[in-house]
Amino acid sequence: MHGAQVGIGILTIPRDVAEIAGTDGWIGIILGWLAAIMASLIIVNTMKRYPECTIIDLMPLFFGKWLGKCLIAVIVLYCAYAATTVLANTGGILKVWLLPLTPFYQIMILLLIPVLFLVGKGVKTLARYAELIFYLSLWVPIALIVSLKEPQYLYLLPVLKEGWGPVLKAVPTTILSFLGFELAFFLYPHLQKKQFAAVGIVIANTLSMLLFLFVTLIAYVIFSPDQITKFIWPVLSMWKGVEYRFLERIDILFLAFYLFIISTTWMPYMYFTVFGAGRLFKKSNEKKYLLGFMALLVAVTMFYTPSFFDIRKLGETWSKAGMIFGYAVPFFLWGYERLFHKYRQRRMP
């Protein structure tokens, strides 16, 4: 879950919150973390009554066969849209920073090759991969701290210079960064020790919050309040100023390694897309759906290359959809499940 969260938002979150709250945007990240924690615990509380079910299994149980299928289709489309958004963002970044002359569809093919070896293997393989990438990426914050030169801590002062209003307005912009916790709807049945689910989901969200907070504060003491809003990907721009005697373009090295980090975001969404499609059509051969989804992505990018504004629009739409699926749906299902449970108890002799 932590891997799914830190994929795309980490590159842009310093700018996103600074555009609204200035250098007080880091407070909005903490408030966004509290909202994500609350929604995550609601998900765990709902799923613990049905320990062997995913949200795909609950839809027909709660809403009947036909309405349940329609809702499953909506969930599949949400996961597919999320995976597409992350892949489009990744392809756009690579095209701007590394491969400006490479056709977009070729970049998409290269990004999708590892999917065949990981997504098709199931949840446990994806979890082990995410854990491996987590340990391999521990050098990133250390390298940033060691390379930090002449930080301007005065940029952070005064705190709450414009009051709480801009900070509260900045909280919704953190939604995209914290999305990924809603995957608990799918992951819960795979847990071996479900009694620790609440602790685990709090730790996952907290790790993400600490990372977002770290890169945001680093960006704020490197760039002035006016500069930070002018960078599309401020975190990548920070690495351009980092140099070693034996290596100048460390930003290229970071971006190449970042592909591993961001892959832990699109792969779970791709898996649950094909998982949901398999349940929707009652066919267990999920690999066919995976190959079909991949072929569709490549085919689309052969005829259409998304612009920066298209990619940003994708992210904004995903953020709005995530507001519904990640925050509204858990509270709705929690309340509905309580009523459903009481109704079922009354029907029992």
How do residues 139-184 score in pLDDT, each as one tens digit? 888 877 776 777 888 888 888 888 898 999 988 888 878 988 999 9
Distance, CA of 208 to CA of 195 (rounded, Å): 22
Distance, CA of 274 to CA of 234 (rounded, Å): 34
DSSP β-bridge partners for residue 244: 247
Q: Does the reported pTM lie above 0.95? A: no
Q: What integer pLDDT is reported at residue 70 of this predicted model?
A: 93
Distance, CA of 96 to CA of 311 (rounded, Å): 13
Tell me: the pLDDT tens digits for 10-46? 888 888 898 898 889 899 999 999 999 999 999 999 8
- Average pLDDT (220-247) is 78
CA torsion, ordered 302, 308, 312, 314, to nearest 10 deg? -10
Per-residue tokens: 114: 């590892």
Mean residue pLDDT across the chain: 87
- Average pLDDT (315-335) is 89
Distance, CA of 313 to CA of 310 (rounded, Å): 5
Residue with tokens 């310093």: 14
**Is residue 346 pLDDT above 70, yes or no?**
no
pLDDT > 90 fraction of the chain, expressed in percent and rounded: 40
Tell me: the pLDDT tens digits for 183-204? 999 999 999 889 899 999 999 9
- Average pLDDT (260-273) is 92
Q: What integer pLDDT is reported at residue 273 of this predicted model?
A: 93
- Average pLDDT (274-287) is 82
Q: By C-alpha distance, which of 315, 340, 342, 346 is closest to 62? A: 340
**Is residue 251 pLDDT above 80, yes or no?**
no
Which of 97-106, 234-243, 247-256 has the highest mean predicted lDDT (pLDDT)?
97-106
Distance, CA of 55 to CA of 336 (rounded, Å): 13
15 Cβ contact list (under 8 Å, min separation 6): 228, 229, 231, 232, 233, 234
How many other C-beta atoms lie within 10 A of the C-beta of residue 142?
A: 9
State how far the alpha carbon of 9 is from the alpha carbons of 96, 140, 211, 213, 241, in Å: 18, 16, 11, 12, 21
**Is residue 209 pLDDT above 90, yes or no?**
yes
CB contact burial 194-205 (16+ within 10 A = b; e otherwise): beebbebbbebb
Tell me: the pLDDT tens digits for 82-122? 999 999 999 998 998 888 899 999 999 999 988 888 888 88
Quick check: helix, strand or coil at residue 233? coil
Residue with tokens 């721009």: 237
Distance, CA of 178 to CA of 36 (rounded, Å): 7
Q: How confident is the model at residue 235 (pLDDT cuts 50, 70, 90)?
A: confident
- Average pLDDT (218-226) is 86
Tell me: the pLDDT tens digits for 299-311? 999 998 888 888 8
Distance, CA of 256 to CA of 124 (rounded, Å): 25
**Is residue 344 pLDDT above 80, yes or no?**
no
Whether 264 and 133 have beta carbons less than 8 Å apart is answered as yes
Q: By C-alpha distance, which of 45, 54, 258 is closest to 144? A: 258
Alpha helices in the chain (DSSP H): 2-5, 9-21, 25-47, 55-63, 65-97, 104-118, 123-136, 139-147, 164-170, 175-178, 184-187, 197-222, 234-240, 250-280, 286-303, 308-322, 329-347
**Which of residues 297 and 247 earns the better pLDDT score?**
297
Q: How confident is the model at residue 345 (pLDDT cuts 50, 70, 90)?
A: low
